Amino acid sequence: MKKVIVACGSGVATSQTVASKVKKILEENKIKADVSAVDIKSLDKYVKTSDVYISITKNTKEFNIPTLNGIAFLTGMGIEEETKKLLDLLK
């Protein structure tokens, strides 16, 4: 199963919210994937074993897995575009 990670500053609010929204979208589209909110301090470790990274903070470095804009899932601004990218990546 493909793995999606979401990270924000502390992992107490935003990443959890985005992760649950993403889970809902995947369910609606009948796509199975493992979605989890992770602590940004351990991001490097998680990236190695994940397929997609949904980012809520400014990225200071490039990762070698596809990175999506997490803010879109939070505010709904640009959500169609990010959803399409996500679904394509998980197909």
Q: Mind giving me the DSSP string for 11-55?
A: SSSHHHHHHHHHHHHHHHTT--EEEEEEEGGGHHHHHHT-SEEEE
Nearer to other proteins, 45 or 78 (CB): 78
Nearer to other proteins, 75 or 91 (CB): 75
Binding residues for other proteins (CB under 8 A): 8-14, 16-17, 20-21, 55-58, 69-71, 74-77
Q: How far apart are alpha carbons 80 and 48 in whole angstroms?
A: 27
Q: How far is the CB of 46 from other proteins (least distance, A)?
A: 18
Q: How far is the CB of 76 from other proteins (least distance, A)?
A: 6
